Structure formats: structure tokens, C-alpha cells
Amino acid sequence: MALKRKALGKGLSALIPEDLEKEDNQRIEDIDINLISPNPNQPRKVFEQDKLEELAESIKKYGVIQPIIVRKDKDIYIIIAGERRWRACKSANLKSIPCIVRDMENRNASEIALIENIQREDLNPIDEANAYDYIMERYGITQEEVSNIVGKSRVYVTNIMRLANLDDYVKNKIVTNEISAGHGRAILSFHSERQIEITDKIIKEGLSVRDVEKLVRDSKKPRRKQIPEKDKYLVYIEELLTDRFSSRVNIKRNKNRGKIEIEYINNEDLNRILDLLKIEES
């Protein structure tokens, strides 16, 4: 079976040593599905059942296109990447699943070269996001661990990786430097059609990131009633929390009581926030 690599930008593809793919193809082996166990530290907590069922049906028809990645722990194998595929295979009643078994304590020269290349090259933000995603899946590590490996702050890595949620049209405009990563982050909360509309407006009118952020704020303001000006201290706390979670935070207060709302745009974004909050499955 040939390992199916995720679609990567041209800049990133050039950085990945050819030996890595050859080594992965040589490591693929079928493992009894009952000997495989989820990673208890997996940051992803939410798996949509309907999507799992769709994947299970696809696996029944076409098989597992991309092996999962595991590490051996005594007599069992712990999933590094691919828990969703493993769950779908169990649902499809498969007896075994193709796996790449990795020794996580012994990164070879090719893997180290990949990390060094990513650190050294001046990648565009989209290729950089793909690079971090590639490292996370390859090594089964968190964004915080990625930030330590590549020498970037956790907030920086998080903000870059959120760009993967943009529409492909918008991502292409970032790659070609027609808009900036800051423009892209400002419009993440919109659906694809609206993202494209605003992107075209940015290019046509030469809008700055601040202009776009104001446009986004204005578009979300209720139009039917006048809202009293928010306490400056609450606005300050909202800004701190927004930076902390890389997602818009809103604080509502009524006398001495209130609530804090954190926005997320999809299940992956929710998992990221839960990881930041250190919430574990019960």
C-alpha cells in the first residue's frame, strides 16, 4: 500500500526529505484492531457520529486509504494519529487495520532534517500551517510541543494553524500575498461565501487589517436596539481572553453576576479550546 500524503503546498513539499515517505511505506503493517488503544492524552474530544458512519461506509467499499500511526506500549499499540479512522474501522467490523509503528523516542536523521528545514525556511503562512499540522500528525504531539520544537510561541502556532479553516480561495490569496494572514484571521468566523466577498473587498479597496476587524465588528452589532457602552475593565478582560484563546470572547454582566462566552467555528476549534482549558473526558 502506498502511503497517501496530505495535500501540501509546493513550498512545504520541497522541505520534506524523500526518505521519510520511503521509511513510512516500509513500516506499514496490519495490526489486530483489538490490540490498538486510543491515546488518553488525545486533545480531540468530539467525534461526530454521522461523519464516523460515513467514513465507515467508505472503508467498507474502498478500504483504509491512509494508515494510522501508532507506538508500541508493551503488548498493545497506542494511537498517535488516526483515532477517527480507527473508530470507523471498528464500526465497519474490520479485524485489522494498516498501521505505521513509530519509535517516538528515536527520531531519525530524516525526521530531524524536516524540523530543521521548517525552522529555517521562510514559508508563507499557509504552508507554515500545513507544516505544523504535518508535524503534529507525524509525531502525535500537541500545538504546545510543536511550538517548543520549532522555537515559536504557542499563541503564534495556534494563530497560524487556524488559517487552515479558511476557504481555499482566501488561502490562495494569502499564498500570493494579495492579503495577509492577519486579514485571514479577521474573517475566520464568517462562512465561505462571506469570506470570499470580504477578501475581494480587501484587495479592491486596499483595506488594512484594522479596517477589516472594524468591518467584522460592525457586521455583528445588533441593529434593533441600542446597547449601553460596556465597562472598560470588561473590555480589557475580553481582549486578554481573546488573545489567550485566539477566539472572540464576550463577557456579559448583570450587577455582580454574569457569564463568559468563547466563540468557536467548528469541532476542531472547539477541541483546541478544550485543550487550552485542560478539560479531559470523564
- Clarify whether 83 is annotated catalytic: yes
Residue 72's region, left for phi above 0, alpha for psi from -120 to 50, else beta, is: beta
Task: Look at the block and give the residue holding cell 504546545.
Answer: 144
Characterize the bridge pairing of strands 28-32 and 96-101.
antiparallel
Can you read off the three cell numbers belonging to residue 80? 498517535
- Using DSSP's 3-state secondary structure scheme, residue 253 falls into strand
Count Cβ neighbours within 10 Å for each residue of 37-64 and write b for 16 or more, e otherwise.
eeeeebbbeeeeeeebeebbeebeeeeb
Q: How far apart are CA 266 and CA 191, in angstroms?
A: 11
User: Phi, psi (5° rounding) for residue 2?
Assistant: -85, 130
Q: CB of 98 within 8 A of CB of 30?
A: yes
Task: Look at the block and give the residue holding cell 484594522.
Answer: 210
Q: CB of 148 within 8 A of CB of 249?
A: no
Can you read off the three cell numbers belonging to residue 164? 487552515
Cβ contacts of 199 within 8 Å, gap of 6 or more: 169, 170, 173, 179, 183, 187
Q: Which of 23, 29, 57, 83 is catalytic?
A: 83
Cβ contacts of 252 within 8 Å, gap of 6 or more: 258, 259, 261
Task: Look at the block and give the residue holding cell 484587495.
Answer: 203
Residues serving a catalytic function are 83
